[in-house]
Structure 1
């Protein structure tokens, strides 16, 4: 078993190295994650300490990214903001994929009225633009980072339900699934040991790509005041707070905005690479 895992890890690393852009994306993600995790060590100032005598100072050796309207160091806040923004992206992608995969697989296996009921509910949710539905849920739950994270997760679940169901409809017709049913295997056993394991590749790809989308959506909610609230350091909220000073104090919104952009690009590049690695057509080449 250990040898098999080692072989798979070596093959995965070999596939990664074949794609320069995937390696760039992986490098960006590692850099941004390490910067967020090591924020207490790397940040030169406390991100929440107010110093009115240093308000709205431009980038300098003392404050690499400048300061905001109450004198807080923006570089320190960008580092700590990564913990919030990247954490939201990871939470949303993995929780939504887990819940959506379970629901989608059981929907495809049970079929009949169970499948019809679940899919009609998913269709209703998908009929509303995702950002509009997320804003409505976040507003109903109340402005906070946790509620924004919960709203984004609920909105992303239907995408995984449809993806997992589509995979299940094909897998349940396979010979080994029919054989398991013949020998009396329960639906729970079939879903756990046959369906989910074989439906994982496209779900993994979608999860990887969704992390960047979740970060952008969390930033959008923070920008309109439905996400993280002051004094919490979060990239979207920082961009929103800095828009009133954008003409004269360009650094206020620019640096957290760049952090959002770079992180989203990193996850999208990695997601594209993982998709290519798990695509059978790519393996034939």
Structure 2
């Protein structure tokens, strides 16, 4: 009798273990996905432990050491007021990487819920929400982001809010499309027949089944959000001095690029590496969650 009771548990555990083994095998078969994941882990560790890793105070001014080239005392050189660029790039990860993650979190959650609600409600409510999203999508993303950031005022928080607002329509359209597909399934119709509320349908049935493409979109959007935050910082609408933010550092460093190449090179390289890492990892996640992508890696 004991063996009979254990058999269902073993039967349930085996497919799950096989699925995880298949995913791990697919990751190992894609070196670019492994590289992207390694970059993300490294950047997250730097973001968390940056205050304990910086060799010097990132905001300490020392005019006697202004614009020094990379060397033993300053691995990335110094800026126009003698601040250590290596320390500022490390601390800048807390601003840039955190900004990208926060933007995707806010835009992903709010856009996904709004898209699912639009698909479930249908009718005039659905039409109103989607026409509003179409209006936002008709304006170039960068132009709309700069306009919102300028209207809200130059600061990193306002820049993050502007980017999140502009990214919401992409999640709304994706979530609504998945909702229209999932709501036709038999288990959703049965749940509605037994009197399930709209919130129950969204949270328990629709959102859970629509999650894979939303996760892929979010993983790909982090790199874009970091680039957008750096762009706003570059034009003066993002983080303000003396906050160490990669885009703002590149903006000031461009004035010295001909003679002091290191000023904008290292923060620019940090932006590039981080964005590429998230994009590579996002592509790998897309392959893992796509049942038709088994042979692409």
What's the TM-score bracket when you normalise by the shorter of the two chains?
over 0.9
Residue 88 of structure 1 is matched in structure 2 by 99
Equivalent position of 1:17 in the other structure: 28
* Equivalent residue number for residue 272 of structure 1: 283
1:222 counterpart residue number: 233
How many pairs are equivalent?
285
Partner residue, 2:190 = 179
Residue 104 (1) aligns with residue 115 (2): yes
Confirm or deny that 1:63 pairs with 2:50. no
Q: TM-score, normalised by structure 2?
A: 0.92
Q: Note the C-alpha offset of 1:10.
A: 5.2
Larger Rg: 2
Q: Deviation digits for residues 4-26 of structure 1, max 9, x if unmatched?
A: 99846555434322211100000
Structure 2 counterpart of 1:146:
157
- Report deviation, 1:284: 7.3
- Stretches of structure 2 that go unaligned for 5 or more consecutive residues are 1-8
Measured on the aligned residues, the alpha-carbon RMSD in Å equals: 1.8
Question: Which residue is 2:142 aligned to?
Answer: 131
Distance in 1 between the 2:258 and 2:295 partners? Answer: 53
For 1:101 and 1:57, the matched residues in 2 are separated by 48
Deviations 1:97-122 (A, max 9, x none): 10000000010010000000000110
Task: Identify which of 246, 249, 257 aligns with 2:260.
Answer: 249
Change over 3 Å in CA distance of 1:54–1:236 after alignment to 2: same
Q: TM-score, normalised by structure 1?
A: 0.96
| CA spacing shift, 1:4–1:96, aligned 2, 3 Å | farther
CA shift for structure 1 position 41:
2.0
Decide whether aligned partners of structure 1 residues 4 and 79 sit closer, same or farther in structure 2, where only a CA change above 3 A counts.
farther
1:210 matched residue in structure 2: 221
